[in-house]
Amino acid sequence: MDFETIKPLLREGQKSKIVLLVMDGLGGLPMEEGGKTELETARTPNMDALAAKSILGLHHPLPLGMTPGSGAAHLGLFGYDPIKFEIGRGVLSALGVDFDLQKGDVAARGNFCTVDENSVITDRRAGRIPTEIGERLCNLLMEKVHIPGVQVILQAEKEYRFVLVLRGEGLSGEVSDTDPQMVGKKPYVAQAVAPEAEKTAEFVREFVRQGTEILAHEHPANCFVLRGFAQLPNWPTFNEVWGVNAVAIAQYPMYRGVAKVVGMTVLQAASSMEEEISMLEQNWDKFDFFFVHMKKTDSYGEDGNFDAKVDIIEQVDALVPRILALNPDVLIITGDHSTPAKLRSHSWHPVPVLLYSPDCLPDGITSFGERACAHGSLGSRFEATDLMLYAIAHAQRLDKFGA
Amino acid sequence: MDFETIKPLLREGQKSKIVLLVMDGLGGLPMEEGGKTELETARTPNMDALAAKSILGLHHPLPLGMTPGSGAAHLGLFGYDPIKFEIGRGVLSALGVDFDLQKGDVAARGNFCTVDENSVITDRRAGRIPTEIGERLCNLLMEKVHIPGVQVILQAEKEYRFVLVLRGEGLSGEVSDTDPQMVGKKPYVAQAVAPEAEKTAEFVREFVRQGTEILAHEHPANCFVLRGFAQLPNWPTFNEVWGVNAVAIAQYPMYRGVAKVVGMTVLQAASSMEEEISMLEQNWDKFDFFFVHMKKTDSYGEDGNFDAKVDIIEQVDALVPRILALNPDVLIITGDHSTPAKLRSHSWHPVPVLLYSPDCLPDGITSFGERACAHGSLGSRFEATDLMLYAIAHAQRLDKFGA
C-alpha cells in the first residue's frame, strides 16, 4: 500500500493506543517429525485466551521463501516494504553497536583481515582475532589517523568486525566497497559511484592509505576492508506514515536502531523483559504506539536450544496480562521472522501473528501456534507489510476512502 | 486484473445469466464479546441451503484495513479497482440526488455556509439549515444567476448541502475547490488546474461573484463553498469490460448512479425489495447481468440497529427462492462493505461473499456468515475486484488463455 494513498485518510486527534509486541524469531519447527514447534509446545494460557478474542494468521516478512535479516524483518512489521526500503549495511552495523549515528554521517562495515607481502588478502577475518584485539586496533587507528576536514570514528564489533563512521560536511554514502569478499585479491580502491561522493571517496582512500601503514606490522590483522558505505535514509517517518506518536522499547541495540531509522522515539535499553513491560506502563500516557521487542526467542533459536526458547515464550506469556491491564485498543503479538531451533538460524517460515482489538471479529482460533494461526482469518499468506494498516484500521485511525 | 488481458478471452453470443445481489453494508460484528454478527444471527435457511452448493469467502473491497465509501465499494464489486478508478466528489453528489448528469457536465458539491463581514467563514454548515431552506436558496440562485455561455443548475441535498452542475460546451472538471474545509478562512478563488479548464474556472468565479451577492442578506446561510469539481469519467463500460448486457435495479439514487457511471442500463427506482425482485423477473429476458441492490442493511447498520439489520437480512433471504426460480447461471450474494451496527458506520471488516453456480465446486461450507465464509474456498483475503472475472468464468463466458 502506497503511503500517499493512506495519508489523506489518517484521522487526527485519535487517542487510541496500539501495542506491537515482537518476540524475535518467534516462528519455529518441530525438532522431530510429528512433533510440535516451540510456540506450540509452550504453555501460553494468556495468549491462548487472547487468541479466542483475536484474529490470527501467519505473516510473511518478505516474498514467499525469502529469509529476512533483522532490519528487513522489522521494517516489514513497521509497514515499510523491505525490498523497497533498504537500510545500508554500514548503517545496520552502526545501529548494531548502538552507535549514535547522526544525519549526514557515513557508516561502513569493516573487517580486519590478513594480507601477504603483495597486499593480497589471505584471510578475510584475520584468524577471527579476539574482540579485545579488534578494540585495540580500532583505538590505534582512531589515535593515529588524521584527515583534515573529516572526523574518523571507529567502533569495534565482535572479533574482526568494526564500524567506520565518517562525520563532516557534505558527505555521501555513494562509495564503492574496498572489500572484494574473497581471498586471493587485493582490497579494491574505493570509488565515488555518484558525483556528489567524490569528496567522501577521497576521504576513504586517505583513511585506507594511513590505516594500512599503521597496521602494516600488526599480526595477524595487518589490514582491513570496508563495505556497505551508507547514510541514515531519508524516509517518511513512522509517525508521519501512520499518524501516531511511536516509542520503541527494546533491550538490544539493533532493534532500537531500526526504530530510530524510522524516527520512533527510542527509550534507553531495558535490562530485562519485565523491565520492558514496566517501561511500557510508565510511558503509557506519553505515546500512542508502542513497539516492544523481546530478543531471547531468537537467541535461543540461533543456539538450537528448543527448550530455552519455549521457556522464554512462556515468560512472555506471563507478561501479557500486564499489557492487557493497560487496555490497549490494539495489541499485536508476533515475531519478526522465524528462527527454528532445529535450523539454528533465521528461516523463511511464516510467522504466527495475533491481532487483538475489541472491534475485531474473532475467527474462532483458540490457541496461539503456527498451525492454529494457519487457519485464522488473516490467512497463512499474510504479508507483514499489511499489518500496520490493519492495526490502525482497528484503532479507528482511518477515515473511509471515497464517498 | 488488466481489462486488456480479459478482452480477447470474452466469448460472444453466450446466453448465461449472472445475478449480483448486494446487501449494502452486509458485514457486521457481534454487539458483545462472544456474540454473533447480524448475518450469523439472522435465520437464513435459503442462503444457508445455497451456501452448501456454492463457494464462499470474505472479500476485501480495498487494500486490507481501508474502509470504502459506497461508490468505491461498488466499483470494486464491478471489477474496477477503486484506487485507480476514482469518481469525483461532485459526480458522486450528483448521483446521490438522482441528478441526470450528462457527459460533459461539470458537477461540484456545495455547502451553504455563514461568513462574517470580512467574508471569513464562521460556520461551514450555516447552522445545519433545514433542507427546505437549502431548497429555497438553490431555487433563488437558479433564478437570479445568469452567465452567458453556460447553464447553471443547482439541486439541494440534505440540509446545507447542494449540487452545482454547469452544462455547456468545452467544460472541464479540472477546477480547484473554493471550499477551504475549515472556518476562519475566506472561500478560495476557483482556479483552473489544467489549461483546458480556464473557461470553466471563469464560469465558476462568475457564479461565485453573482451568487455571493444574491445571498449576501440571507441569514444564516449568506454564502457557499464548492468542492470536488468533476465530470462523468470516460472509462471502459461494464458491458465492454465483461462482455455482458447489464442492468441495475436499486431503490436509492447513489447505487443507480454508480451503475450509470460504468454504463449499465438503470431501471427506475424500485419502491421495495419485493418490487426489485419483480423487476428482476420482468427483465429476465432482456439482460444477462443483473445488479440488484438492497440498501436497508446498511441504513440499519448506520443507525446501530442490530435487530432491524437482522430482520432485513431475513427478508432478503425470503426473496432468494424467487431469484433461484429464474435459474441463474451464477448468483452472487454479498455486500459492498461492512456496516456493523456496533460501529454505526462503514468499516474495514471483510465482507461475506457467496458465489453459486451449477459448475462451481462447493467447498463444504453450509451456512452464510462471516466466520463460516472465512473457511470457504474463496478464502478470507479475497479481493472484491477479483469477483467479476470469477463470475463470468463460472458463467462460461471466457475462452482459455494461451493455446
- CB pair distance less than 8 Å for A393 and B65: yes
- pLDDT above 70 as % of chain B: 100
For chain B, say whether A51 makes contact (Cβ under 8 Å). Answer: no
Residue B239 main-chain phi, psi, to 5 deg: -65, -40
- pLDDT at residue A1 is higher than 90: no
Question: What distance in Å separates the CA atoms of residue B245 and residue B264, rounded to the nearest whole number?
Answer: 8
For chain B, say whether A378 makes contact (Cβ under 8 Å). Answer: yes
Question: What distance in Å separates the CA atoms of residue A77 and residue B68, rounded to the nearest whole number?
Answer: 24
- Per-residue pLDDT of B105-164, as tens digits, reads 999 999 999 999 999 999 999 999 999 999 999 999 999 999 999 999 999 998 999 999
- A372 contacts in B (CB within 8 Å)? none
B234-267 burial, b for 16+ CB within 10 Å, e for fewer? ebeebbebbbbebbbbbbbbbbbbbbbbbbbbbb
For chain A, say whether B65 makes contact (Cβ under 8 Å). Answer: yes
Closest residue to B71, CB basis, from A363, A399, A403: A403
For chain A, say whether B325 makes contact (Cβ under 8 Å). Answer: no
For chain B, say whether A249 makes contact (Cβ under 8 Å). Answer: no
Closest residue to B374, CB basis, from A5, A363, A394: A363
- CB pair distance less than 8 Å for A389 and B86: no
What is the pLDDT at residue B403? 74
What is the pLDDT at residue A96? 86
- A53 contacts in B (CB within 8 Å)? 33
- CB pair distance less than 8 Å for B67 and A381: no
Residue from B26, B29, B64 to probe the interface with A (highest A Cβ count within 10 Å)? B64
Q: Å from B259 to nearest chain A CA? A: 15
CATH code 3.30.70 region(s) in chain B: 91-230
- Per-residue pLDDT of A207-249, as tens digits, reads 999 999 999 999 999 999 999 999 999 999 999 999 999 999 9
ipTM: 0.88
- pLDDT above 90 as % of chain A: 97
For chain A, say whether B379 makes contact (Cβ under 8 Å). Answer: yes
What is the secondary structure of B88-100 as a DSSP string? -HHHHHHHHTT--
CATH of domain B91-230: 3.30.70
- Per-residue pLDDT of B346-403, as tens digits, reads 999 999 999 999 999 999 999 999 999 999 999 999 999 999 999 999 999 999 998 7
For chain B, say whether A390 makes contact (Cβ under 8 Å). Answer: yes
For chain B, say whether A196 makes contact (Cβ under 8 Å). Answer: no
- CB pair distance less than 8 Å for A398 and B63: no
Averaged pLDDT for residues B173-178: 97
CATH code 3.40.720.10 region(s) in chain A: 14-86+235-394
Query: Between these two residues, A393 and B403, which has the higher pLDDT value?
Result: A393
For chain A, say whether B253 makes contact (Cβ under 8 Å). Answer: no
- CB pair distance less than 8 Å for B68 and A403: no
Q: Å from B348 to nearest chain A CA? A: 7
What is the pLDDT at residue B5? 93
Which residue type is seen at A192? A
Answer whether A279's CB lies under 8 Å from A19's CB: no
- B92 contacts in A (CB within 8 Å)? 402-403
CATH code 3.40.720.10 region(s) in chain B: 3-86+234-394
Q: Å from B165 to nearest chain A CA? A: 18
- B233 contacts in A (CB within 8 Å)? none
Beta bridge partners of A209: none
Question: What distance in Å separates the CA atoms of residue B353 and residue B109, rounded to the nearest whole number?
Answer: 33
- CB pair distance less than 8 Å for B66 and A401: yes
Residues A68, A52, A321: CA angle, nearest 5 degrees? 80
For chain A, say whether B172 makes contact (Cβ under 8 Å). Answer: no
What is the pLDDT at residue B58? 97
Mean pLDDT of chain B: 96
For chain B, say whether A5 makes contact (Cβ under 8 Å). Answer: yes
Question: What distance in Å separates the CA atoms of residue B71 and residue B78, rounded to the nearest whole number?
Answer: 11
Q: Judge: domain A14-86+235-394, CATH 3.30.420.10.
A: no
Closest residue to B29, CB basis, from A359, A381, A400: A359
Beta bridge partners of B175: B192
What is the pLDDT at residue A402? 85
Q: Using alpha carbons, select from B173, B94, B157, B154 the residue that is nearest to residue B125.
A: B157
- pLDDT at residue A364 is higher than 80: yes
Answer whether B178's CB lies under 8 Å from B121's CB: no
- CB pair distance less than 8 Å for B65 and A375: no
For chain B, say whether A11 makes contact (Cβ under 8 Å). Answer: no
Question: What distance in Å separates the CA atoms of residue B329 and residue B394, rounded to the nearest whole number?
Answer: 8
- CB pair distance less than 8 Å for A402 and B69: yes
* Closest-CA residue of chain A to B95: A403
- CB pair distance less than 8 Å for A393 and B348: yes
Q: Å from B59 to nearest chain A CA? A: 11
The topology (CATH level 3) of B3-86+234-394 is Alkaline Phosphatase, subunit A (3.40.720)
* Closest-CA residue of chain A to B30: A361
- Per-residue pLDDT of B261-285, as tens digits, reads 999 999 999 999 999 999 999 999 9
For chain A, say whether B69 makes contact (Cβ under 8 Å). Answer: yes
Cβ-based neighbour number of residue A320 at 10 Å: 20
- A377 contacts in B (CB within 8 Å)? 58, 350, 371, 374, 380
Question: What distance in Å separates the CA atoms of residue A59 and residue A32, rounded to the nearest whole number?
Answer: 24
Query: Which H/E stretch holds residue B38?
Result: helix B38-41
Q: Å from B14 to nearest chain A CA? A: 35
* Closest-CA residue of chain A to B63: A1
- A398 contacts in B (CB within 8 Å)? 65-67, 348
- CB pair distance less than 8 Å for A400 and B67: yes
Q: Å from A393 to nearest chain B CA? A: 5
- What is the pLDDT confidence band of residue B96, given thresholds at 50, 70 and 90? confident
Residues B302, B305, B310: CA angle, nearest 5 degrees? 105
C-alpha radius of gyration, chain B, whole number: 23
What is the pLDDT at residue A28? 98
